[in-house]
Structures are given as C-alpha cells and as structure tokens.
Chains A and B, each alone.
Chain A
C-alpha cells in the first residue's frame, strides 16, 4: 500500500522529539483554550501563529502545533458546555443541550467521559478519512491551470460564508473588503504602489498574520467588555468515576455523528458548528424517545463526535485545494502562505513530509487528547474557576509580544489594533470575519492567476470559462450555494450565537 508507506514516513517525522513536544503542548493548550468560554479555536490558533514564526519553527512543526491546538479545542469546548452550560467554543453549543442536564442530575463524570470518547471516535475516524481521501483529491487536482485556480478562489469566497452569515450580501462584501485590503502595497508584477497614500510602512501591504491576530484576538476582548458578568454556577462533578455502561450507550451515536460531521467538514464553508448541529439533529430524529434535551447520553455523544470529525474533514480541502473548510483552517492557511508554502495539489508532491507528518501527528494527538480528557480531566475543570480578568489581559499581552517579535515595529502593533477595532465593528454589524481574512490572504494569488490566465489568452476574458475543470468548479460552487441555502433554511434551530467568527 502506497499510503501506508507514506504514513510510515510521516510517523518518523511526527516522532521527532520537537514535534512530540509540540503535539503534547498543543493538545494541552487547545483543550484549555477550548474549555475557556469566549476563546475558541480561531482565537487560539490566531494567538499562537506569531509565536510559531518568532520561534522559527518550520512549516511542518508549525502545522503540527496548530492542528493539535485545533483538535484540542474541539475536545475542550465540551467541558464548560457540560459543567457551566456555556459552550467553551461555538461547536460545543449542541453539547449543552444534553450535557448540562446530565451534569445537573449528578452525572457530570459520565457526560464528560461519554463526550471524551465520542470526541476520540470522531477525530480518529476523520483522521482516517483524511488519510484516505486527501491524496485522491490531490491527484485529481494536479491538472489545474490558472483559470481553474481562479475558479477555485471564486468557489472559496462564494461558499465560505454560505451557512454562517445571515445576509449573503454581507459575506460577499466582507470578502471584497478583504480583497481590497489585500491590494494595498506594491503590485507584485509591475511595482506600482497601490493605495499606500505615500506611507512607506504600507509598501509591503498588510501582513495577514498581524491582521488576523487583531481581527480574532483583540476583537474578542472588546466583545468581552460588552457584558460584564460571565459564567454561572459551576456544577460539581458529582461522582468521580464514570460508569462504563453509560459510555457504551454513546458509541453508536458517536459513529453516526462522526460520518455526518466528517462530510460537513469537507464542504467548504460549513465547518465544525454545522457538523455538530447536523449530527445532533440526525441522532435526535433517529433515536429520540422523549429523552433528548433531558440528559440523554446519545445527545452528548453525537454532536461531540460530529464537531471533532468535522475539524478533521475541514483539513482536506485546505491541504488539497488551498480552500479552507472552516474559519480555523482559513487561519492556518494564512500561516502556510506566509511561510511561502502554497497548499494545494502540489503540496503532496513537493512536501510529503509536511502532509504525512501532519497526518501522523494527528493520530498521535488523538491519543494524547484522550489521556488529557479522561484521566486528567480534573485539571481542566479547575481552570474554569479562574476569573476572566486574569486570563483575557494575558491574551492581549501574548498577542502583542508575538506580533512584536516577528515584526519589531510599533507600526504593526497599531495596524493590529486597527484590525481589532475593525473586527469588532464588523461582527457587531453582522459581517463575518473569515471572508475578510480569506480575501486578504488569497487576493494576491487570485490576481496573479487571473493575470496568468489572461496573458495566456492575450487578454481574452473568455479563457476563464473555456477550461472544463473550471466549469465543473463553477457548477460545484452553485451546488454548494444551493445546499447551504437549503441547510440554513432547515437549520433555523441553530442558536443565534453561532453568528460569531466561525470555527
């Protein structure tokens, strides 16, 4: 088996001491960030990216760290959902529905164990799916030309906000705003300075890393100041050890939830929140006998398996096509592009170490997370007692020192604050932030591919529609749009809190 030998090489990369340390550290940090209400995977990954640069980690190690954080957040989000009835991050919203009632009945330990095992099943199945499907997609995508890539970017923008935004016009505007911000600076092919207004600081354009730390980390601080008191009564865990019989009740639901979540994760623009919602509602329809919403273990297992599987699935379009399937993968894409690594079909040819090292690291991360989240769960429940005023300012300080360490310029700190304010205002106005980041990120490539395509055709725009691959992509885009409209119609049960920055 070709894949098995590649995977074997991947394990050799993942087992390097530095990578093992990063896996454990990332899983720990991720579970912590996920468990804290207010901070989710996007924020966590955004805060860590400048640090990976500052420490000079290579692309493989950075990706391993960030993916471990991403997976960890999906595990951690459930902890506060079950104990506090506050989802630690968005995808955990569905877990509150049955998790909190279980905790109130004194079955918190059971609920945590069921959801921990469900997370493990979901994430592991998704990683297996990633191992099998990603290379297939990458093989097909190798025949892409410039016009096809342009079509791919159009698909990324058209679908990313599909489900999250309430008003599609705003999603498009947000993407266009990102694209406009992305054109600031020297034009790469002609050297003309665009929209710099004479400031030399702007000649390099806006660094996407600086922008996304502002957009995701600082805007969260401003949001936090909106309502003063957060948190409710922490439910005491009750009995200390979970009962194995209760854990077994969740296995079937976990398997079903994993499959649904994985598919939701692959769809561009759907992401983990949708994965959790779809898994929960499917399980409810299948096996509800009036017990759902009242502390049914299957209602805890299904959404947890769903959101973990979705986060694995979301890595597939990001790695193979360079089109992120969720907010967090969009942020990871920013990091790869800043390291001069273009995700896409060629990634599998050019950097097999990165791809397979990452995949192998994800298998290892799952085992680390299982240990962190079952026997060591007490550590994280204690963290929930910490006050926000102690944690949120630390997030600010770490964002500043990370950005300062990579740019050494006070100007970039100001840019970061500016993006923080922008992010806050946009979210208040119901614009989602992920399209802005995507625009800023992909703008230059989109323009380059458009130029390349047009210089092949000698300036004839019809080349964009001549390639069969591009046409298939446009058709798929239309399909995704219809699907996401249909899903958002049906998904009116999604709590309105989901309209925060993605997952």
Chain B
C-alpha cells in the first residue's frame, strides 16, 4: 500500500512539475532554455511514479500508536523550536526543546529538567562566548 501511495505522490508531483515548466521561457542565446532540463528529469519521474503505483513491491511498517504520537509530538517541538528561536532567544527556546525532546525519549522528569537547564546555557556559552558564533541570547519578545 505504501508503495502505491508514494507512487501516486511522485506521479502527481512530477506531472505538476513538468506542467509548470511550460511557463518558463527565456529569450535567445540559450539553446536549452529554462524549461528543458525540468522536462528531462520530470518525465522519467512521471513514468517511474506510475510504475510504482501499478507494481508496488514494498510495504512500510509504521510505528505503533504510541510511537506515532511521540513522533508527532517531536515534529511539533521541532517546528516550535524553529519558529520560537528568534522571538524567545536561544537559551529559553533551547531549554524548552531539550526538555521536551528529552521527556519524549523517556528521560526521568527531574534529570531531564537538570539536563536541559545545564545544556541550554552551556551551549550558549560554548558556541557564542567561547567560539564566537553570534546567537540571540534574549529574544525579541523580551528584549
């Protein structure tokens, strides 16, 4: 089933990709133009996607309910970390992310808290102060 779905996905993606390439035109001087290369790679992808849809071979085994929930939570944390790094500043955002991910991976709460409380300022000191990478200490919301 998973092969059929990925085949369908690739088929639609590549078809859309080739279709969009028609809009890319340029003037003279370039025998190839910006549209040909996308077709050179898009058309085989359409065919391969279709073949995967028709002749699937492999079926993915996904994690159980608990595993999928953990993964969804991790993705939320990763997105939140990306969005909040600037507003929160490096240390608070990193503290939250390390704590959240640590707990997801089964850290005992107190030790996970300790780890995050040490690691977030520690990374800041190591990379910003010691090695000179500019990181936002306090975010725009607080500063």
Which residues of chain A are within 8 angstroms of B38 by Cβ–Cβ distance?
180, 183, 194
| Interface majority SS (helix, strand, loop, mixed), chain A | helix
Closest-by-CB residue of B relative to A430 is B58
Q: Contacts A180-B38, A192-B34, A451-B32 hold; do A420 and B101 have CB atoms under 8 A apart?
A: no
B98 touches A450 (CB 8 A): no
A438-472 residues at the B interface, CB under 8 angstroms:
446-447, 450-451, 454-455, 458-459
Give Cα A400–Cα B13 distance, bound, in whole angstroms.
29
Which residues of chain B are within 8 angstroms of A394 by Cβ–Cβ distance?
98, 119, 123
Q: CB within 8 A of A176: which of B41, B97, B116?
A: B41
Which residues of chain B are within 8 angstroms of A228 by Cβ–Cβ distance?
66-67, 70, 105-106
Which residues of chain B are within 8 angstroms of A429 by Cβ–Cβ distance?
2-3, 6, 58, 60
Q: Contacts A387-B107, A392-B101, A401-B90 hold; do A180 and B14 have CB atoms under 8 A apart?
A: yes
| Interface 1/0 per residue, B11-32 and A, CB below 8 Å | 0011001001100111100111
Q: CB within 8 A of A180: which of B17, B67, B78, B85?
A: B17
B79 touches A417 (CB 8 A): yes
B114-133 residues at the A interface, CB under 8 angstroms:
115-116, 119-120, 123, 127, 131-133
Q: Is A227's beta carbon under 8 Å from chain B? A: yes
B49 touches A173 (CB 8 A): yes
Q: Is A198's beta carbon under 8 Å from chain B? A: no
Q: Contacts A180-B45, A390-B102, A430-B60 hold; do A192 and B26 have CB atoms under 8 A apart?
A: yes
Which residues of chain A are within 8 angstroms of B58 by Cβ–Cβ distance?
166-167, 429-430
| Interface majority SS (helix, strand, loop, mixed), chain B | helix
Which residues of chain B are within 8 angstroms of A396 by Cβ–Cβ distance?
78, 81, 97-98, 101
| Interface 1/0 per residue, B37-71 and A, CB below 8 Å | 11011101100110110000110101100110011
Q: Contacts A389-B105, A450-B37, A455-B31 hold; do A410 and B82 have CB atoms under 8 A apart?
A: yes
B residues contacting the other copy or chain, number (CB 8 A): 70
* Cβ of A339 to closest chain B Cβ, rounded Å: 18
Q: Contacts A221-B101, A429-B2, A447-B37 hold; do A404 and B85 have CB atoms under 8 A apart?
A: yes
Q: CB within 8 A of A414: which of B45, B83, B133?
A: B83
Give Cα A224–Cα B37 distance, bound, in whole angstroms.
38
B78 touches A173 (CB 8 A): no
Closest-by-CB residue of B relative to A404 is B85
- Across chains A and B, the number of contacting residue pairs, with CB separation under 8 Å, is 188
B134 touches A405 (CB 8 A): yes
B45 touches A393 (CB 8 A): no
Which residues of chain B are within 8 angstroms of A195 by Cβ–Cβ distance?
17, 20
| Interface 1/0 per residue, A378-408 and B, CB below 8 Å | 0000000001111011101110110011000
Closest-by-CB residue of B relative to A391 is B105
| Interface 1/0 per residue, A296-337 and B, CB below 8 Å | 000000000000000000000000000000000000000000
B67 touches A413 (CB 8 A): no
Closest-by-CB residue of B relative to A403 is B82
Q: Is A172's beta carbon under 8 Å from chain B? A: yes
Q: Is B74's beta carbon under 8 Å from chain A? A: yes
Which residues of chain A are within 8 angstroms of B86 by Cβ–Cβ distance?
410
Closest-by-CB residue of B relative to A459 is B31
* Cβ of B97 to closest chain A Cβ, rounded Å: 6
Give Cα A410–Cα B32 distance, bound, in whole angstroms.
36
A400 touches B82 (CB 8 A): yes
B75 touches A173 (CB 8 A): no
Q: Contacts A169-B52, A187-B34 hold; do A397 and B97 have CB atoms under 8 A apart?
A: yes
Q: Is B135's beta carbon under 8 Å from chain A? A: yes
B97 touches A167 (CB 8 A): no
| Interface 1/0 per residue, B88-110 and A, CB below 8 Å | 00100010011001111111000
A-B contact pairs, 28 of them (CB 8 A): A55-B131, A173-B48, A177-B10, A177-B13, A180-B41, A180-B45, A195-B17, A195-B20, A221-B78, A225-B67, A226-B67, A387-B107, A388-B105, A389-B107, A393-B101, A393-B102, A393-B115, A393-B116, A396-B97, A397-B120, A401-B135, A405-B133, A405-B135, A410-B86, A417-B78, A424-B71, A429-B60, A458-B31
Other than the given A173-B45, A226-B71, A401-B123, 12 more pairs (CB < 8 A) read A173-B49, A187-B24, A190-B26, A225-B63, A225-B67, A393-B105, A393-B116, A393-B119, A397-B98, A401-B127, A416-B82, A428-B62
Residues in A lying within 8 Å of B, measured CB to CB: 51, 54-55, 166-167, 169-170, 172-173, 176-177, 179-180, 183, 187, 189-192, 194-195, 218, 221-222, 224-229, 387-390, 392-394, 396-398, 400-401, 404-405, 410, 413-414, 416-417, 420-421, 424, 428-431, 446-447, 450-451, 454-455, 458-459
Residues in B lying within 8 Å of A, measured CB to CB: 2-3, 6, 10, 13-14, 17, 20-21, 24-27, 30-34, 37-38, 40-42, 44-45, 48-49, 51-52, 57-58, 60, 62-63, 66-67, 70-71, 74-75, 78-79, 81-83, 85-86, 90, 94, 97-98, 101-107, 112, 115-116, 119-120, 123, 127, 131-135
Q: Closest 3 CB pairs between A and B?
A: A413-B82, A389-B107, A190-B26
